[in-house]
Amino acid sequence: MKVGFVNIFGRPNAGKSTLLNALLGEKLAIVSPKVQTTRHRIKGILTEPGYQIIISDTPGIIEPRYKLHERMMQAVKSALEDADLAILLVDVSDNLEESDAIFTALRLKVPALLVLNKIDGVPEEKLTAAKQFFENKPYVREILMVSALKQTGLPALLEKILSYLPEGEPFFDEDNLTDLPTRFFVGELIREQIYQLYQDEIPYHAAVLVQEFKEKSTLVKIMADIIVHRDTQKGIILGERGKMIRELGTRARIEIEKFLGQKVFLELFVKVRPKWRDNDLYLREYGYK
């Protein structure tokens, strides 16, 4: 069968997480209009008769400003090292020169498909210009166009991916969807709601640590800490008389119940850890290896 690692690279907000979810037909990676939503490398496993593709969503490529960013870029580096095929994802309305600079700096050693994303509603001449811009770049094998959100162009992309993958034995059992634990995704779903509910800097200053995950006969009991930098941020997360954290808890619980397929009891606590994004000890504790 065809087996291989296909890793998605691109600028923040190119649509990498949406593409991973669309290819898998399952929501694994959290999605937000805000940049830098993805902080980890998230592997999804797509197994069908005749093939197994391990697809990785990676953090958007940025210039690191904190140790947290350095950990995120390490995730990108690890994805470069084991790829059989790279998908270089570009928001077709983005700055193409900046994407080109990022892809050139990756120094890819494997074939790459350049995928122009978010093509719905974009004028034909703009699509043609974007295609022509990337056509002769040395890192590009072929160019495809998709709308990950509308799921346009995905069958052609999947077919093209398979044509580049080697034959081999599967790495994972066919019923595996990911190599990450459930607890990780619970934390991510809570973090996704922080991105949805709070504005400005709060999502970027917050981390989520799942302290307890107990499966009982009728429900799953989850206890999680939301980590922030400052007391003022704690106040914003809580809201007046706890109104905001109750809303956050309700929204997160609904999403977690959808993900787990069972009832959930969710308790959230807010902890202040000054400068956690630059603290190696905290970063390790919060899962940023």
For every one of its 289 residues, what pLDDT tens digit does the chain have, with 9 covering 90 and above?
A: 999 999 999 999 999 999 999 999 999 999 988 888 999 999 999 999 999 999 999 999 999 999 999 999 999 999 999 999 999 999 999 999 999 999 999 999 999 999 999 999 999 999 999 999 999 999 999 999 999 999 999 999 999 999 999 999 999 999 999 999 999 999 999 999 999 999 878 999 999 999 999 999 899 999 999 999 999 999 999 999 999 999 999 999 999 999 999 999 999 999 999 999 999 999 999 999 8
pLDDT for the residue numbered 191: 96
- CB distance 116 to 88 below 8 Å: no
| Amino acid in the structure at residue 60 | G
Element holding 35 (H helix, E strand): none
Q: Please say whether the beta carbons of 140 and 134 come within 8 A.
A: yes
H-run or E-run covering 82:
helix 67-82
Q: Is the pTM of this model over 0.75?
A: yes
- Predicted pLDDT at 36: 87
E strands within the chain?
A: 2-10, 42-48, 51-57, 85-91, 112-117, 142-145, 207-215, 220-228, 264-272
